[in-house]
Structure 1
Amino acid sequence: MAFSEPVDLAGKSPRERILLTAHDLFYCEGIRATGIDRVIAEAGVTKVTFYRHFPSKNKLIIEFLDYRHERWMTWFKGALERHGGHRSKGVAALVPALNEWFSDPGYRGCAFLNSVGEVGQAIPEVVEITRNHKHDMTEAIETLLPAARSRWADAKALALAVDGAILHAQFDSPAEALKPLERLVKMIKEPAPARAKAS
């Protein structure tokens, strides 16, 4: 299944249908552009049922991001593993893993960065959730690096480059978006002294 492919709602509880519907609409069309009535209609629930589970749109937004975090991190770690991240390739697995996501027809960038841009000032919890998400992403990248004093700093640099590629891929081809990250990966894998000796 493609990462962004909508989840089948058949057999899901009303709460799950609301959350999954909101996930797809918020990610594909934006939080502000998606009204509660649209979520209710597409989830196939009543307004009473909706508000029993989600007292406000803000609460739904927060739960959407919590769910998105779990779903994305599961995909990210799996993609790194599929591309050899914990075997021979190390951080080089970042590039094919992200290419897999960027090439998905449903790709709309980072749900967390998008949400901060849309509602971060109005809902401070969105900023905190995003900060935690990016920390967890950086930790996943750190596991691909060999033990070294600079390991966390290198992981943070790579995470920042990943975010840049995520943004760039929204208006350019995956290959172009990933070029700077690929360059950084090579520099970290082969530090300057090693390159100097080789030349």
Structure 2
Amino acid sequence: MRPSRKDELIDKALEIFYRDGFHATGMDKLVHETGISKTSMYKYFATKEDLILATLERRHEQFTALLTEGPAARADSPKGQLMASFDTLQEWIASEGFNSCMFIKASSEFQDPSHPIHQMAAMHKRALTEHMANLARKAGAKEPEALARQLMLLKEGAIVTAHIQGKAFAAPDAKDAARTLINLACPE
């Protein structure tokens, strides 16, 4: 089934915001690059912030699928999936389209914790942390929430490091550190 015009707008705006940032991307630029008139754009989204929230929701769906399906396809056990999540991270970071994390960018550009865009970014990170905690529980971790937070710190650090210092070592170094944490927390 062909995506709706609204879905096409969300997907294209996601690409633009991810590439150029939220504040640096004005409605005129969105109109020009999407080929949709301002009138049509405002028909779908009353404000630029509404469009940003829609793109973040779409990115949340995409990224959640990537970080759940990727490791599940690589490993059968929960402990193996915890490790495989760093392979998925490496694959994403190595991809041509990698441009850091859209949610890190959103929380940086919209710093007020009560702002809906900041809240959406925080929700995304909480959801990923909870997914890691669920895997850690299934893997028999002594303190699954602590392990999940530690693994998320490694992932977030790898993303930022890859963006700022280069892609070569960020995810492999994070995976090496994760292996130590996972093996300590999840004895066989």
Pairwise CA distance, 1:127: 1.7
Runs of 4+ in 1 over 4 A off after TM superposition: none
Between 178-187 and 127-136, the greater mean CA deviation after superposition: 178-187
1:52 equivalenced with 2:47 (yes/no): no
Amino acid at match of 2:130: E
Return the index of the structure with the highest Cα Rg.
1
Whether the aligned pair in 2 keeps the contact of 1:58 and 1:123 (CA below 8 Å) is no
Equivalent position of 1:42 in the other structure: 33
The percent of aligned pairs where both chains have the same amino acid is 25
Shift of 1:27: 0.4
Aligned pair partner of 2:147 in 151, 154, 165: 154
Query: Aligned in 2, Cα 1:187/1:124: closer, same or farther, shift over 3 Å?
Result: same
User: Any idea what the Cα deviations from partners look like across 1:12-65, whole Å, max 9, x if unmatched?
Assistant: 322122211110000011112211122223322222111111111111111111
Distance 1:129 1:86, change over 3 A: farther
Query: What is the SS of the residue equivalent to 2:164?
Result: coil
Gaps of 5+ in 1: 1-9, 195-199
Give the alignment partner of residue 134 of structure 2, picking from 143, 147, 150.
Answer: 143
2:150 is aligned with 1:164: no
Q: Aligned Cα RMSD in Å?
A: 2.4
Q: Relative to structure 1, is the Cα distance of residues 191 and 105 closer, same or farther in structure 2, using a 3 angstrom cutoff?
A: same
Match of 2:70 among 79, 92, 96: 79
* 1:110-139 Cα shifts (integer Å, max 9, x gaps): 100111112233971122111111111112
TM-score (norm 1): 0.82
Pairwise CA distance, 1:96: 1.1
User: Unpaired segments of 5 or more residues in structure 2?
Assistant: none
- Matched residue pairs, number? 184
Compare the two structures and name the one with the higher helix fraction. Answer: 2
Q: Is contact 1:14-1:45 (8 Å) kept?
A: no
